[in-house]
Amino acid sequence: MHLLKLLTVPVFIVFGFMGCSNTPDIPTGITFKHDTLKRLGGRGDNWCITWTKDGSQITSMDDGNWLDGEHGYHNHIYRIIGDPGDFRREDIPAYPQFIFDGNGWFGYGIVSVNGALYSMVSRTPGPNWDGPFRGVKMLKSPDNGQTWYRVSRDGQERFLDPWDESREEVNRKEMFFLEESGRSRDGETAFPFSFCAFVQNGQDNSAAKDEYVYIYSPEGSQAHQLLLARVKQPEMEKRDSWEYFKSWEGDKPVWTSDLDDRGPVYEFPHKNDQDEAFGWYSWLPSVVWNEGLNLYIMVNGGTYAGHGLTGSAKDYFDRWMHTKTGSLGFWYSETPYGPWTQFYYTDYWIVDDEKNRTYQPKLSPKWQSEDGKTMVLIWSDAMKNEKGHSHTVNYLWNQMEIEIQLDQK
């Protein structure tokens, strides 16, 4: 497998900030390099990834154990050290232990900023996988995963031992978001920023174009509507400092401090061309800075709803997804907030078997070629085994190199 050259230089040294004369080439398509397909480790899914100050990557994982260890986790994190073709995986034992015997906590948003790791952990309505989620708890490590703290919405930190009972607490002080500004759909209420994705600005946020950290989230009751928040990096631990995308004025975003006034920064399909509906557990993006292309690249996909695929309340909020393999798309933007331009999309992404049930596509923020054309795509697969049991055959880490096709100017 061809080993990608790893990015090590902050982007502002190489290119300067946006607005310079270096006009980026335009992405026009994707080539999937199937000869680089690799699957690795024990059970798990939802691989959200960040690039840390020490050069390693941290990935979150849900419902499994990547190292086949003692515990099964609803949510855990691991360190990745090395190149895409040859890397080792390490446990991070100090992270709060969200095990199967506990309550329903699932990890999505994870980011390294100014030497600190942040992990946003979503709370389910019940003790296991279920939705829509109730809100998120913010966890912080100031020392590369050696110790962890709960951060309250007013910025107060409290040390968490890995088995501290308070890791399971759910109340307004413990949760960074909790059942706020919900919107209803057919009698069910879903909440914004109850699971989220941070924009990955290179190593340890060193490629950021401004002073803000950007956070995406699907609108729970209409998951195809993509929400966006931002906060100045020194103030990201204080909820009152967060701002939310409201609308566009041309290509300029309008922000509001009132979560109720939020609006979608982008809209994905809510159904495919066959009138099959996507469910609430869809369209959580992975947005990374691509230094070689001087662009932000977003990958995203829709997860098909319950067994009827109708978009009704019964289907939309059905805890069972993956009736069909998920959709897959790629977008680009010159800024972390858009506007976004689509350059690839398919309603059903098949990797190597018609029985694939792909979902939650991600991009590594570190594993990129020097020219930016080659990146590494990571995804989850709920494919069934011969007995018809789902989340078995490929329910682990899936990765493949992709090549971005360009319209060169």
pLDDT score for 362:
98
Distance CA 84, CA 397 (A): 12
pLDDT score for 24:
75
pLDDT score for 197:
98
> 238 phi and psi, to 5 degrees?
-115, 115
Band of residue 16 on the pLDDT scale cut at 50, 70, 90:
very low
- The pTM score is 0.94
pLDDT score for 1:
39
**Is the distance from CB of 194 to CB of 223 less than 8 angstroms?**
no
Residues 193-218: tens digit of each pLDDT = 999 999 999 999 999 999 999 999 99
Residues 317-352: tens digit of each pLDDT = 998 889 999 999 999 999 999 999 999 999 999 999
Q: Is residue 15 predicted with pLDDT exceeding 80?
A: no
> 21 phi and psi, to 5 degrees?
-80, -5
User: What DSSP assignment string belongs to 17-74?
Assistant: STTSS-PPPEEEEEEEEEEEEEEESSS-B---EEE-TTS-EEEEEEEE-TT--S--EE
**Is the distance from CB of 33 to CB of 401 less than 8 angstroms?**
yes
pLDDT score for 79:
98
Distance CA 134, CA 180 (A): 9
**Is the distance from CB of 258 to CB of 252 less than 8 angstroms?**
no
pLDDT score for 9:
39
Strand order in the sheet with 397-407: 26-40, 397-407, 374-381, 358-368
Taking alpha carbons only, the member of 307, 348, 306, 311 closest to residue 326 is 348
**Three-state DSSP class for 314?**
helix
Q: Is residue 7 predicted with pLDDT exceeding 60?
A: no
Residue with the bigger pLDDT between 408 and 367: it is: 367
pLDDT score for 22:
61
**Three-state DSSP class for 229?**
strand
- Looking at every residue in the chain, the average pLDDT score rounds to 93
**Three-state DSSP class for 259?**
helix
Over range 282-301, report the average pLDDT.
Answer: 98
Residues 27-64: tens digit of each pLDDT = 999 999 999 999 999 999 999 999 999 999 999 999 99
pLDDT score for 319:
85
Contacts within 8 Å (CB) and 24+ apart, 15-22: 15/291, 15/294, 17/209, 18/209, 18/334, 18/335, 22/294
Over range 368-375, report the average pLDDT.
Answer: 98
**Is the distance from CB of 123 to CB of 136 less than 8 angstroms?**
yes
**Is the distance from CB of 237 to CB of 138 less than 8 angstroms?**
yes
How many residues can be counted in the chain? 409
Give per-residue burial for 18-32: e unless 16+ CB within 10 Å, then b: eeeeeebbebeebeb
pLDDT score for 10:
41
Over range 254-281, report the average pLDDT.
Answer: 97
Q: Write down all domains in the chain, each with its CATH number in brackets.
A: 11-407 (2.115.10)
pLDDT score for 409:
61
Residues 164-200: tens digit of each pLDDT = 999 999 999 999 999 999 999 988 999 999 999 999 9
pLDDT score for 21:
42
**Is the distance from CB of 109 to CB of 47 less than 8 angstroms?**
no
pLDDT score for 12:
33
**Is the distance from CB of 382 to CB of 360 less than 8 angstroms?**
no
Q: What percent of the chain has pLDDT over 70?
A: 94
